[in-house]
Homo-oligomer: A and B are copies of this chain.
Amino acid sequence: MLPGPLSGPVAERSDAARNRARLLAAAQELIAECGVDALTMDGLAERAGVGKGTVFRRFGSRTGLMMTLLSESEAAFQARFMFGPPPLGPGAPGLARLIAFGEARIAYIMEHGDLVRASESTYPSRYEVPAALLWQRHVEFLLAQEGMDADPPVMAMALIAALEPERLLHAVQVQGIAPERLTGTWRELVTRVVGGP
């Protein structure tokens, strides 16, 4: 017994752990050198000195790799709006939390840039990843708390659409729009939606 830290249903084999570490390190190096978009799965396997099959067993897909690279930041973000201090976390009014949620999300997207974009899965699973479902429920809950009368699920979907990484990054990186304008518009948007007639 006790083959190591008794985490999860079964322990990870030592070679698997070694290769996972190698792959993550190689991925971060490649991204630092050439950017996220230039990272290919073949190139990663070669750089890490493992076979291509190993890369895909570990991460499932290119998207899965990117999600893994972001998983700690993503978990921290989730923790902040679920359990952290107000106004992002519980304790503040719904509107304030909605505003803070959008601001935090925009900051997160700007901070991680192309990596967030590359971590978006392709249709149709894009809207079914746990993180997306969590945001949906969170915004829906805050809308209901603010007395949103009509169709909170669909309204939450519409609001979250305004926070799509691809669109926001295009606005900032290509159109040259300052991130403050994005947060300002988000504040305006949710304020009018919850405070409207």
Q: Which A residues contact B (CB, under 8 angstroms)?
A: 117, 123-124, 126-127, 150-151, 153-155, 157-159, 161-162, 164, 166-167, 170-171, 174, 177, 181-182, 184-186, 188-189, 191-193, 195-197
Q: Which of B157, B159, B166, B185 contacts A150 (CB 8 A)?
A: B185
In the complex, the answer to whether B167 meets A157 with C-beta atoms within 8 Å is yes
Which of B150, B177, B195 contacts A196, CB < 8 Å? B195
Question: Using Cβ atoms and an 8 Å threshold, which residues of chain B touch A192?
Answer: 192-193, 195-197
Give the Cβ gap from A103 to chain B, nearest Cβ, in Å: 14
Given A126-B166, A154-B171, 14 more A-B residue pairs with CB atoms under 8 Å apart are A150-B184, A150-B185, A151-B181, A151-B185, A158-B162, A158-B186, A159-B162, A161-B162, A161-B164, A164-B164, A189-B193, A192-B197, A195-B196, A195-B197
Q: Do most interface residues of chain A lie in helix, strand or loop, or is the interface mixed?
A: helix
Whether B117 pairs with A170 at a CB distance below 8 angstroms is: no
From the candidates B162, B170, B181, B188, name the one contacting A127 in the complex (CB within 8 A): B170
A183 to chain B, nearest CB (A): 10
Q: Looking across the interface, which residue of chain B has its beta carbon closest to that of A173?
A: B124
A189 and B158 contacting across the interface, CB-CB below 8 Å: yes
Question: A191 near B184 (CB under 8 angstroms)?
Answer: no
Residues in B with CB closer than 8 Å to A155 are 185, 188-189
CB contacts (< 8 Å) of A197 on chain B: these are: 191-192, 195
